[in-house]
Structure 1
Amino acid sequence: MSDAVPVPTRHLVGAPTPTPSGAPAPEHPSADRLDGRVRAVLVALVVGGVAAILDSTMVTLAINTLVAGLDSTPGRIQWVITGFMLVMAVTIPVTGWAERRWGGKRVWMMALTLFVLASVLCAVSWNDTSLIGFRLLQGVATGLLIPLMQTLAVRAAGGRVTSRLVAAFSLPVALGPILGPVIGGLILSWLSWRWLFLVNVPLIAAGLLLAWRFLPTDRSEPSARHVRLDWIGLVLITPSLAAILYGLSQLSADGGIGHAGVLGPLLAGIVLLAAFVGWASRPGDRQPIVDIRLLRKRSLGTASAVLFTAGAAMYAGMFLLPLYFQQLHSESVLNAGLLMIPQGVGALLSRFGVGKLVDRFGARVVTIASFLLAAAATVPFAVAGPDTNLWWLGAVLLIRGLGIGAVLIPPTSVAYQDIQPNNIPHATMTTRITQQLGASFGTAIVAVVLQALVDHGATTAFCSAFWWAIGITIAAIVPAVILPANTPNTAPQPAKPTPNERIPSNR
């Protein structure tokens, strides 16, 4: 008897739904619409997931306030953000195994509960060490929530990943830059910094209630009940991601890539990552923690490359812009947050039309156009000075938001084209890890440029850093060129399961 259980094929983006006779059903103009059940699931996921995004954007504004409030130093308080990002990244690979072992709804609600508990603990922190520790707990919860939100949304849609679905479950990413700086700025201006964490509590409570009501009660996969966690794979990939992200975060602080504090972690992380690739490439009968063999598929491989560069382009700008307004224009934290609103509005608006654009022109064309629009809208910041009109920059940010907001949706929808349902968690983890690494890479590059040129004046430093951000955005077009053209007329037929896409029975 075979040890593998074939998995039924799934419907792909833009592919016609087969009828029982095997003939394709006629195209329907509303095929891309989300039914009421899927919309209810998405509302529950967005309400719960937006708290983690809001928390990240708000805490970034509070570094100086936390230094004063906890009698700490900027270098130590920086770990409130760095530690959170590291733990979040290394938790992501466990999500797929946990979802298979205990079921998506249960893990989602456990992660929300952990997040709200950690938020309350952060609010009652008594020194910088306790705050950093409780932020690590938030990182664990967020590392489960972000990929699981994507996985549960795709599952709710029956595996049919459309641009409209991606736009919906990525809504927190658009709302965060709009609401986070404003709410955070208001709290820091009028209340204690502790309310940055307490404001999450009612939102998470609503998310838990909606999840209990609308998320389908899924059971753990029967074959997964006896699947052991790939401890060797976890031990290899966890420190590799942590070391690489830590090395990148230290680039601006430790004097460049040649410094031991940067080069050591980067080399160690690369060696461990190479060891993980070797281990995961030949899993045998075990279930790998992250199935990297899926990267051989053109859809997921090219989409992951695009998402890496998109993460670098997005977060390079997100790192620079608040600092630009505060340091070059001498704006307060609250005003800097308000000035960022146009970019968030643009990102939100782009989600209403990007699905139709992908249907008409294809994922490749829309992705390239989005990168070009974002790069062009960043140029004014590279030539601006302290006297540049803020209304003009606000209009430019609106345009930049349109580009940045649209750039993630086409490659994310393409990523699942050839993926079988049982491998959706692995595809999700792969896209999230690559995007997270890209975000750290882009942030590190512009931070190094900013730090290296600070002695030449703030204007020179920021202009140069923005030119680097533009270069990163243009470089992102290279992998986008080979992205599959995902249109209704060219969408591939549903893929048949391959030996690599069967679930081992682990008897």
Structure 2
Amino acid sequence: MPPTEDRFEPLVRRTIAVILLGGIMGILDGSMVVAAADTLAERFDSSLAVIGWASTGYLLALTVAVPVTAWAVDRVGGRRLWLFGLVLFLIGSVASGLAWDVGPLIAFRVVQGAGAGILDPLMLTLLIRTAGPGRSGRVVGLMGAVGSAGPVVGPIVGGLIVQSLDWRWMFFVNVPIVIAAFLLARKVLPVDRPAADAPRTRLDVVGVALIGPGVAASVLALSQAAEHGGLTTPYVIGPLAVGLALLGVYVAHALRRRRTPPLIDLRMFAHRGFPVGVLVLAFNGVATYGALFALPLFYQQAGGEGPFAAGLLLAPLGVGAVISMPLAGRLSDRLGSRTLAVAGATLTVLSALAFTFVDGSTGRILPVAASLTFGLGLGCTSAPTMGAVFKVLPPERVAQGSSLLYMLNQLGASFGITLMALLVQSAADPVTGFHHVSWALVFAAAAMLAATARVPGRDRTPSPVLEGASL
């Protein structure tokens, strides 16, 4: 039974508070490690391209775990799965803090990313199910505001830790927070065991085996391009061919009729507005994490700033997203998603263009202002787009739809980090590298802008679940 109006608001707010206490740690860890790339490269005597895999491996594991989560949530229950995700994230955090070399660090970050891959999509799935499709924009906006605190707090905390303490505390700081999140979740989240008559669908093991290596090999190709200085070497062409072949086989596998449902049902792309939402959020991931990776490096390498100061200078990007996501999400339920998404993407393009005028002698006002408007644009694009997608998906597709959106957004983030590492490492100097990154951000934002023109407009159908309730 849906919550009544007088109980709906406290129920949603309590759920947001408890779930995001655990979910925010995955977002923080992603941005903390990205901001510390230069420090980790020096400590491990490694290249930026290799260190980038500490973030890329995390995001790839997250990407593969997301669709498995969509299958598991109805089979084992959201509460059980959430608690398991917290435990897995905790194990990965402790192991990453104990890493003795860059190889083990990347491996343990994969474990941590698998835990985040359970928590991230499950967070959205549980909130959407609680609020109903008619309030999806508001829920996405509220959740996004808290989630966007990662780019604000993560680089600052990460910079402060690597400047004042040992880098290992970037991971050890998770331990008390995750333990608290686990205990509170056991107390607050309702037990939601699957019904006895619920369909017992099998996991698409073949799909997992194809998607995981396919995505990893494709991203590995870009990383090898950074290591070997080109896109035409066998080290690049080989992994790319393998990755594309595996993903192509998965497409054929998913479209074939059989008893076991595919891990990712590609027929979701037949729903109006869903393919556009996927494109928008994928390019949003490229732009977000590309900027998160490149800006701290620029401030440290070209501007001479320390890690903590670089984190503070990066914070306006996250502040912009925190401001715009809840506002845009709420307005999208009233005014429609397309207008807000187009406006946000346009602002993102203009902000990325401003980065191309920045060099070592520019000062800090222009890059900081551009970072703020860049974050405003990204938040104003993503929240309405996600809200529009959940309005067009039928309720039974929400779990898999949210998982697929998360997966492709994080895949875009993986490509974004790897591509930016390639551009920075192959440049003659830090300023040239940053200019190359800035133009890459312009192209990613322009592609996002082109896709937002097809985002569904205003939905005039009232919410059948929670009409009259407020967030």
Query: Structure 2 length normalisation: TM-score?
Result: 0.91
User: How far did residue 162 of structure 1 move?
Assistant: 2.4
Q: How many Å separate the matches in 1 of 2:37 and 2:283?
A: 27
Listed as ranges, the matches of 1:200-239 within 5 Å are 200-222=174-196, 226-239=200-213
Match of 1:181 in 2: 155
Listed as ranges, the matches of 1:78-477 within 5 Å are 78-222=52-196, 226-452=200-426, 454-455=427-428, 457-477=429-449
Q: How many Å separate the matches in 2 of 1:418 and 1:392?
A: 40
Unmatched segments (≥5 aa) in structure 1: 1-7, 11-16, 18-29, 495-507
- Cα displacement string for residues 158-177 of structure 1 (whole angstroms, at most 9, x for unaligned residues): 44442110012223431111
- The 1:81/1:461 distance shift into structure 2, 3 A limit, reads closer
Q: How many Å separate the matches in 1 of 2:325 and 2:53?
A: 33
Indicate conservation of the 8 Å contact 1:154/1:160, yes or no: no
Indicate conservation of the 8 Å contact 2:354/2:366, yes or no: no
User: How far did residue 280 of structure 1 move?
Assistant: 1.2
Q: How many Å separate the matches in 1 of 2:165 and 2:129?
A: 41
- The 1:34/1:386 distance shift into structure 2, 3 A limit, reads farther
Q: How many Å separate the matches in 1 of 2:462 and 2:227?
A: 48
Question: Secondary structure, in 3 states, of the residue corresponding to 2:150?
Answer: helix
Do residues 52 (structure 1) and 26 (structure 2) align?
A: yes
Q: How many Å separate the matches in 2 of 1:227 and 1:190?
A: 50
- Cα displacement string for residues 132-178 of structure 1 (whole angstroms, at most 9, x for unaligned residues): 33222101111111111111111222444421100122234311111
Indicate conservation of the 8 Å contact 1:314/1:439, yes or no: yes
User: How far did residue 259 of structure 1 move?
Assistant: 2.1
Unmatched segments (≥5 aa) in structure 2: 465-471
Q: How many Å separate the matches in 2 of 1:65 and 1:322?
A: 11
User: How far did residue 98 of structure 1 move?
Assistant: 1.6
Pick the structure with greater CA Rg.
1
Q: How many Å separate the matches in 2 of 1:61 and 1:67?
A: 12
Q: How many Å separate the matches in 2 of 1:403 and 1:255?
A: 33
Match of 2:467 in 1: none
Match of 1:27 in 2: none
Aligned length: 463
Give the structure with the higher percent helix. 2
- The 1:405/1:234 distance shift into structure 2, 3 A limit, reads same
Question: Secondary structure, in 3 states, of the residue corresponding to 1:476?
Answer: helix
Match of 1:22 in 2: none
Indicate conservation of the 8 Å contact 1:93/1:289, yes or no: yes
AA aligned to 1:198 is F
Moved more, 325-334 or 247-256: 247-256
- Which of residues 443, 456, 463 in structure 2 aligns to 1:484? 456
AA aligned to 2:373 is I
User: How far did residue 95 of structure 1 move?
Assistant: 0.7
AA aligned to 1:280 is A
AA aligned to 2:219 is L
Q: How many Å separate the matches in 2 of 1:41 and 1:67?
A: 39
- Seq. identity, %: 36
- Cα displacement string for residues 389-438 of structure 1 (whole angstroms, at most 9, x for unaligned residues): 21343233222221122221011111122323222221012111221222
User: How far did residue 69 of structure 1 move?
Assistant: 4.4
Question: Secondary structure, in 3 states, of the residue corresponding to 1:408?
Answer: helix
User: How far did residue 89 of structure 1 move?
Assistant: 1.7
- The 1:65/1:314 distance shift into structure 2, 3 A limit, reads closer
User: How far did residue 127 of structure 1 move?
Assistant: 3.6
